[in-house]
Structure formats: structure tokens, C-alpha cells
Structure 1
Amino acid sequence: MRPILAALFACSLPASALNVVFILADDLGYGEVGCFGQQKIHTPNIDRLAKEGTKLTQHYSGAPVCAPARCTLMTGKHLGHAEIRGNQQASVSFPQFKEGQHPISAGIATLPAAFQKAGYTTAAIGKWGLGPVGSTGDPNKKGFDLFFGYNCQAVAHSYYPRFLWRNDQQVEINPTPIPGHAKPVEGEVKAEPWIGKTYAPDLMVKEAQEFIASNKSKPFFLYLAFIEPHVAIHPPLDHLDEYPKDWDAKPYRGEGGYLPNPRPRAAYATMISDLDRHVGAVREALEKAGILDETLIVFTSDNGATHDAGGVDTEFFKSVGELNGRKGSVYEGGLRVPTIVRLPGKVKAGAENTTPGFFPDWFPTLCAAADLKAPDGLDGINLWPALTSDAKVERTKPMLWVFPEYGGQVAVRLGDFKVLRRNLDTKKPGPWQVFDIAKDPNETTDLSAGHPELITQAVEVLKREASPNEIFPVKIPDA
């Protein structure tokens, strides 16, 4: 925090002020960690968080892809009000920027800014995706004292980039970078050509450890947006033999995009296990600093599992469990994400919580946890009573998704039901569908014929809640 601002607010914080570490995985499917049903991939550190905390089994991302999901998280606005509703590059509207996504505006309130204004030291380490350095969406302008990592999610397709950003400065880490994309290869496929000098996630973990150690005596908000397991698949080779060689009868040659790999299934599992090791390293840093049990830890993913691109085989791993859909879809598999909350003495250990919630809820929830006042006008609700006392939280604000990409899609959660429609921006828009999520989380039985009143209600919600957005337009259909 800037010295003058820190002095103004330091006296308002109690000595026992709660630290917050929010860990966001990238394209991690609902079923890709052990505590959410994964059988093949080893995730002991994430599973330990679940044993020490509470699993949220009906928690949703705010969007089915990267940038808009992060926008809903940072601003507490659902996709009907969020400024960023898709993955558009900043250069489309702002040609002066060569990397980064469309920026959030200068006036929008953000979650880290609320903590910063209250006297917290704040850091974002990992992937940003909400505006280039120097734009109105620059992370240093949106509440973060420190930013270290990838500003642009397109650059983050590579785990060995030329540079990472430290605030507004580029820090070169690979004189010879490895791209995240390559042409398909013929002949023998080898992993070694795609391994660079410096593995970017290692630097980000080290930065997180140093931030925790440096700020252990004062309250902090740490946002860790790791890039695993987003393709391209090219993890370090030293953990690859943790997984069986007979998983991969044939190599991935790069024919489906991204980089080739001789052992794609094993390499993908290794990436998720590397993510798990990052979580373990962060937990260990908190423990070493003596603040583990005074720190609220949230672990989740930005959206559902990726498609079977880049060598990924989601069927082999049952990456979304028995859910329907993948990343980019408003079906459960695209939106429902593995979520864990840990805070001993407040959040029950080894528990499951079925309260429906989504990313806009984190803004008011984390403010409530830290006893901060959330700004007015948020679309999320405070889930803290449900997490700490098993209280039933009545949703006074709707859960909805207005997504212009992947053909154009909308969805609304109405109690136990979800109403959705897809392919709105095509010549043959799909029909309205209604699913009883409580009884049918796999979305196998469409109940739309018997529940026209739910479709009418969903349309009313969407038309009331979806404000116009010229950059990311979606036409709300009639019932």
C-alpha cells in the first residue's frame, strides 16, 4: 500500500485482522481433484485443504471462460452487469496495446481495492486478464500494491514466456521463450524441445512465499491466479514418471492446437499435480510464518474443464465428474467449479456445503469475513453465515449468466432449477431447456415442456438484469 494511504488506515485495523489468500486455478474441472472424485490424478495438498475446511459442492464460476469469470470475481457483478463478458483482446478497441484483454473501466469498484482501502497490503500473483499494463484495467490501478505474473491470458498459453510483469516492468525470464502453440510434428514426438530455461509457475510460487514472509505481521490480501492446468501441456519433466507410461499408447502431435507431447495424459496429470504442489507450498509458507490458522484460504477454478484440445483427454480423467458440458458452456460442466474454504474455528473441517453460490458472491462474502463494509450495488450475496454456521442463506439476488461467445448463451438458476438457452447468435438457436439441478445435476432430463412458467420467470430475470453492452452484446430471447 502507498505509505500515506497505509498511515491513514492502519489504525482502523485490529491486530487480529484476517488475512485472505484466494487461489484460482485455470480450467480445472469439477472432478479433477481427489476430494471432488478424481481417481487418477494425485492432489494431496488440495485434498488436505478439504479435510481441514469445507467443500462447496454447488459453487459456480461467474462465466464459462477466463476473462469474464475474473471480472465477475473482482467486481462482484454478474454477467448481466459485468463490463467484461468475453475474451476479447484489448487491441480490438485499443490498438495501442499489443497484449492483454479488454480493460475494465477506471470507475469500477474492485474486491482488492476494498481491502487496500481498509489498510491491507494486496498482491496479485499469476494471470490477470482484465486490462493491459497502462490501461484503466492495469492491476496496480485496480487495488493491487503488487502485481507479478502474466498480464495477458494469451501469453499465458506458454509456461516458458520471454517475460513476466512486475507491476509496470517486464522481467525477462527466458531469452529463448517457448511458444504455447506450434505446427503439428511428424516422426518421433519429444518433450525436450518444448522445455525452456525458466518455468514461470516456479517464479510465481516463490513470489507468493516471499510476499507471505514479508507481510506476516500485518494483514494482507493475496490473489493467486495460477495458470495450471490450462493448455499448452508442457510441464517440467521431473515429475512426469509419477504417472504410468501405459496411459499413453500414442503421442499427441499437435493436430488439435497447442504444443505436441509424447505423453499427453501423463503430462496433463502432472500439470494438475504441479498445481497441487503450489497449493502445498503456499500452505507451508503460511505455516512457517505462523499465520496459517489466521488466514482464510479459498481455492477454486475460473471455469470448468477445458475441451479435448491440446492433447487433453477429459473423458479419460472424468474431468467434470458426471456433469454435462465443458469450458465455454453454461451447462454444469462449464460453470460448476471445485471450491474449498479453510479457516479453523470458523469454517467447519471435513464438511460439505450445498448452498448454491457463484463468483459475484465472493466480494460481499470476503468483506463480511474480514469485517469490512462492501460497497453498494453488488450482484453477489454474503455467503459467510452459511460457511460459518450452517445458516440457510436466502438468495435475494439472482444467479445468472449472459455469455456472448460459443454461439451466445444465457442461463438462470431459479432455486433448484436451471433454465438455459444456447446458440442464440446462430441461424438455428437452441430451445429453452429446464433442469432440476438438485435431482439431476448431470442435466440429462429436460423439463421445459412441463415448466413453461420457469422459462417465463427466467426471461423476466434476464431482461431485467442484463444491461446493454456494445462490446459484448447478447440479445435476450423471449419465452
Structure 2
Amino acid sequence: MRPLTLLALTTSTAGLCLAAQPAGDIKKPNVVFILADDLGWSELGCYGQQKIKTPNIDRLAREGLRFTNSYSGAPVCAPARTTLMTGLHLGNSPIRGNKEIQPEGQFPIPAEHTLFPQLFQKAGYATAVVGKWGMGPVGSEGDPLKRGFDHFFGYNCQRMAHSYYPPHLWNDDRKIIINPTPVPGRAKSPPDQPVDMATWTGAQHASPLIIEDALRFIDAQAKAQKPFFLYYTPTEPHVSLMPEKEYLDSYPESWDAGAYRGENGYTPQTRPRAAYAAMITGLDAYVGKIMAKLDELGIADNTLIIFTSDNGTTLPGRNSKRWNTGGVDADFFNSTAGLRGFKGSVYEGGIRIPCVMRWPGKIPAGATTDFPTYFPDYAPTLCAAAGIEKPARGDGVNFLPVMLDKGVRPSATRWSGCFPNTADKPPFASANTKCCAET
């Protein structure tokens, strides 16, 4: 894998041309897009993970397609998710940082930017985002109910999503109280006292409520015989280290010689390594619930599932103070498999992400591709898969032919990146390619 900078990443795929791919017999498939939070490149069994158990996602990979060169659109949350939803690379994206708006929510995506779920909604799909949003407060122009989604359930604000025991979640535009005594997402345990996990455990964990809402949405659309687009955005494994007990108990106590006290932000945990693994195994279990629901309803064969992450894993507490966050031990889990960098970095470890897809009868089972993709590619690709109107504006390419193994590969016909020296251009740029400054 040749190294790519984020600038090269965000401009190179805009210059790749794929042959047009007619929808053919693809008729209104359901689409389930699962976006994990801060899941590292090598934290799944199908990507070489040895310690963390992920049987359901591994099954997705066995039954579908695994990407080895899949990239986010940015190394942190809100910008990455905005490049996904708008189909614009970071240079054109309206959101380039995790800017917050008080009292709850992030800077909203401006109304003039069309999100691709709006095109699904326009084409007659039932649409929902269930999990974390982070692209505009309730009632703002970035409210998911105004941006192509019929239904929203979960965290509107990513700051609120720092805790798995928050005071409330949102059900559409209604605030649902789930923890009258919430647990803060960031705090420290006094150094002279033992870590008491009762202090950091609330009455209602948010994740079971979120997955149950996603399953209800699938069930309702199947019964109504309506095609659906589900954007399921769980907060796992984004720290704080607050797994459900059943998953924590599945990992050995011997992994952890001492507690994490919140030294690098987020909440303390007596078993930090086991807790982190448990959060990913819990995430895997939620994916398994979706797969089981599709099987139960008899709609798995007409459903495209995409599983990926918004950016790389969190930096372990050993280097830059700026990016030391939480008690994740990425070294212990070999979370980046040797890639340089972590979340917040534009090195490979910050932006290369796992990605597996399954679409029975369409995507070959057990396949692997080295075709490079990044978040802006999903807007044109998913619209093509559904046979609906594609976005009028975007920086991505339609890689549906790659997914369907049609033997179509990209050809470099132009390069729009600002590389004044020929030697700085990516290796697939032609000799007569001009820099954007020259055009």
C-alpha cells in the first residue's frame, strides 16, 4: 500500500473515472449503513485481530466483500461524517472540525448542501438514523429530520455521546429521559482512593435502547413492504470505557494489572483492556442482531449491508498530550497493525478504516479488493445501487462495479490536487497531469 496524505486521499478519487453502471436488475434494495465510532483498522478478526472477538462482522466478511484500502474523509468525527453525507471531500465540505453549539449539538450542515439520504427519501425509501448524529442540533437546519431522515433516535450531540449513561436520548424531536442520575463522560478518580465502578455505572445503558430502535425500524418497514435506508451509528468503541457487563465478563481479568483513573480524559475503569475489547464485542453483537432480524424477516438477500468506521482508533496514552484520550491500549491490541498514526492524524492509522459489505447474490462471497475508496464515494455508489437519482454535486466516484465484481477498474484521467512539483503527485497521475493551480 503506497502512503497517502489526506489531501491526496480527498482529491485523488475525484479524479478517477469509472464506466457508467446501469442498475439492471437491482430493484429497490434495502440499505443498512453501519458506522462504528473510532474503530481501528485492525480491531476486527477479519482484519487480523487476535484478542477481540467479532464473530458477526467476521461472518459479514466471509459472506461478502472486504476492502483493504478503505479510507475515511477526515480523521475526526463531525468532519468525517459530513464528507460521508454530502459526498464532498474535506476541502469542499462545510464542516471541518468538531465545533459545538450550545447547549447541545454541533455546527449544522448548511441547508444548501444536499445529503444523499434526501435522495433516498425522495425516491420513496423509508429512512432513519439511529445512534449518533453530530451534524446539527434538533430544530436547526442540520436536524436529521430536516436532512432526509423520517426518523431519528439516539444522541444528537457527540459531546453527550461521551457517556453511555447519558441523561437523555432523542426520539425524533422529543427528549427521552433514560438516566435521572446520569454518569459524566469525562471525570477522574481521586488518586488516593480505589476506583469504584458503581460510581461510573448508571441505571440505563444507551446502546441496548439504540439497537432495539434500529430493529423496530427494520421490522416496521418490512411489514409495510417498503424499501428502507438505515444509517445505524453506534457509539462503540468510542471511549468512555463503559461496556455492558455480559461482554466485559467474556474477557479475562488477567489482562488488567491496574485501573485506568481517567488520566487522559473520559471515565475511570478497573478493567480497561477488557472493557475496550468488550465494547467492540458488544458492537459486534448489535451487528449480529441486525443480521438476525434481516434473516427472520426474509429480506437479507435484498439488503446491502455496509460496515465501516468514522476514523481510526484513539491514541494510546503514551505520546502527544494533545491526542491522549481515554484508556485505550492500542499497543496491546495491535489496533493499527503497524500503521503510523491514530485518530486525529492524517497518517494511515488515523484515516484507513475497516470496511466490509454483504449483498447476497450481488456481491461475491469471501471476496477482497484493494480498490481505494473514501467517504465521498458512498453517495454516488449507494444511489447507483438503489437505482435512484445521483447527487448533482460531489467529489466521489461510483464504485458499484467494483462491489459487484464487474471487472471495471478506475483509470486516471485528471488530477485536481495542488501539487506544484511533479514528484509530489500520486504515482497514478499521468505525466501531463496539471496541478489545480495550473488549471
Please tell me the TM-score bracket, short chain as reference: 0.7 to 0.9
What is the distance in 2 between the residues matched to 1:347 and 1:15? Answer: 12
Structure 2 matches for 1:152-171, cutoff 5 A? 152-171=157-176
Report % sequence identity. Answer: 53
Question: 1:451 deviation in Å?
Answer: 3.2
1:15-49 per-residue CA deviation (whole Å, 9 max, x = no partner) reads 95200000000000010000011000000000000
1:63-116 per-residue CA deviation (whole Å, 9 max, x = no partner) reads 110001100110100001000111111x2xxxxx41111111112111110100
- Preserved contact between residue 32 and residue 319 of structure 1 (Cα < 8 Å): yes
**1:321 aligned residue:** 337
Residue 83 of structure 2 aligns to a residue in which SS? helix
* Residue 397 of structure 2 is aligned to residue 451 of structure 1: no
- Preserved contact between residue 241 and residue 279 of structure 2 (Cα < 8 Å): yes
What is the distance in 2 between the residues matched to 1:340 and 1:254? Answer: 33
**1:65 aligned residue:** 76
- Preserved contact between residue 163 and residue 173 of structure 1 (Cα < 8 Å): yes
**104, 107, 113: which one pairs with 1:108?**
113
**1:151 aligned residue:** 156
- Preserved contact between residue 185 and residue 260 of structure 1 (Cα < 8 Å): no
Indicate how the Cα distance of structure 1 residues 282 and 462 shifts in structure 2: closer, same or farther if over 3 A, else same: farther
* Residue 195 of structure 2 is aligned to residue 189 of structure 1: yes
**1:215 aligned residue:** 221
* Residue 138 of structure 2 is aligned to residue 133 of structure 1: yes
**2:398 aligned residue:** 382
Supply the AA of the counterpart residue of 1:57: T
**2:64 aligned residue:** 53
Structure 2 matches for 1:238-317, cutoff 5 A? 238-308=246-316, 309-317=325-333
- Preserved contact between residue 247 and residue 279 of structure 2 (Cα < 8 Å): no
What is the distance in 1 between the residues matched to 2:285 and 2:122? Answer: 32
* Residue 30 of structure 2 is aligned to residue 22 of structure 1: no
Q: CA RMSD in A?
A: 2.4
- Preserved contact between residue 380 and residue 397 of structure 1 (Cα < 8 Å): no
- Preserved contact between residue 65 and residue 328 of structure 1 (Cα < 8 Å): yes
What is the distance in 1 between the residues matched to 2:275 and 2:153? Answer: 26
Supply the AA of the counterpart residue of 1:214: A
What is the distance in 1 between the residues matched to 2:87 and 2:173? Answer: 26
Residue 404 of structure 2 aligns to a residue in which SS? helix
What is the distance in 2 between the residues matched to 1:453 and 1:280? Answer: 42
Indicate how the Cα distance of structure 1 residues 99 and 73 shifts in structure 2: closer, same or farther if over 3 A, else same: same
- What is the TM-score with the length of structure 2 in the denominator? 0.87
Structure 2 matches for 1:1-16, cutoff 5 A? 16=27
1:229-277 per-residue CA deviation (whole Å, 9 max, x = no partner) reads 0011111223212111111111111111111111100000000000000
Indicate how the Cα distance of structure 1 residues 399 and 22 shifts in structure 2: closer, same or farther if over 3 A, else same: farther
**2:14 aligned residue:** none
Indicate how the Cα distance of structure 1 residues 398 and 198 shifts in structure 2: closer, same or farther if over 3 A, else same: farther
- Preserved contact between residue 300 and residue 360 of structure 2 (Cα < 8 Å): no
Residue 298 of structure 1 aligns to a residue in which SS? strand
What is the distance in 2 between the residues matched to 1:194 and 1:289? Answer: 38
Question: 1:390 deviation in Å?
Answer: 4.5
Residue 389 of structure 1 aligns to a residue in which SS? coil
Residue 362 of structure 1 aligns to a residue in which SS? helix
* Residue 209 of structure 2 is aligned to residue 203 of structure 1: yes
Indicate how the Cα distance of structure 1 residues 27 and 15 shifts in structure 2: closer, same or farther if over 3 A, else same: closer
- Preserved contact between residue 358 and residue 399 of structure 1 (Cα < 8 Å): no
Question: 1:282 deviation in Å?
Answer: 0.8
**1:403 aligned residue:** none
Indicate how the Cα distance of structure 1 residues 125 and 463 shifts in structure 2: closer, same or farther if over 3 A, else same: farther
In the alignment, structure 1 segments of 5+ residues that lack a partner are 1-13, 92-96, 401-411, 420-431, 433-447, 466-479
Question: 1:167 deviation in Å?
Answer: 1.2
**2:237 aligned residue:** 229
How many aligned residue pairs are there? Answer: 401
Question: 1:367 deviation in Å?
Answer: 0.5
- Preserved contact between residue 72 and residue 78 of structure 1 (Cα < 8 Å): yes
Looking at both structures, which has the greater relative contact order when contacts are Cα pairs under 8 Å and sequence separation is at least 6?
2
Indicate how the Cα distance of structure 1 residues 85 and 245 shifts in structure 2: closer, same or farther if over 3 A, else same: same
What is the distance in 1 between the residues matched to 2:260 and 2:395? Answer: 43
- Preserved contact between residue 415 and residue 435 of structure 2 (Cα < 8 Å): no
Further displaced range: 118-127 or 306-315? 306-315
* Residue 94 of structure 2 is aligned to residue 122 of structure 1: no
Supply the AA of the counterpart residue of 2:423: H
**2:357 aligned residue:** 341
Question: 1:464 deviation in Å?
Answer: 8.4
What is the distance in 2 between the residues matched to 1:228 and 1:305? Answer: 11
**1:470 aligned residue:** none
Question: 1:322 deviation in Å?
Answer: 1.8
- Preserved contact between residue 379 and residue 397 of structure 1 (Cα < 8 Å): no
Question: 1:326 deviation in Å?
Answer: 0.4
Question: 1:219 deviation in Å?
Answer: 0.3
Question: 1:377 deviation in Å?
Answer: 1.8
What is the distance in 2 between the residues matched to 1:205 and 1:369? Answer: 25
Question: 1:375 deviation in Å?
Answer: 2.1
Question: 1:399 deviation in Å?
Answer: 9.4
1:163-195 per-residue CA deviation (whole Å, 9 max, x = no partner) reads 101111101111111111112323211322211
What is the distance in 1 between the residues matched to 2:409 and 2:391? Answer: 20
Indicate how the Cα distance of structure 1 residues 109 and 464 shifts in structure 2: closer, same or farther if over 3 A, else same: farther
In the alignment, structure 2 segments of 5+ residues that lack a partner are 1-24, 317-324
Question: 1:336 deviation in Å?
Answer: 0.6
**2:410 aligned residue:** 394
Residue 51 of structure 2 aligns to a residue in which SS? coil
What is the distance in 2 between the residues matched to 1:255 and 1:229? Answer: 18
- Preserved contact between residue 17 and residue 370 of structure 1 (Cα < 8 Å): yes
Question: 1:398 deviation in Å?
Answer: 8.2
Indicate how the Cα distance of structure 1 residues 207 and 395 shifts in structure 2: closer, same or farther if over 3 A, else same: farther
Supply the AA of the counterpart residue of 2:79: P
Indicate how the Cα distance of structure 1 residues 387 and 398 shifts in structure 2: closer, same or farther if over 3 A, else same: farther
What is the distance in 1 between the residues matched to 2:389 and 2:341? Answer: 37
**94, 98, 103: which one pairs with 1:87?**
98
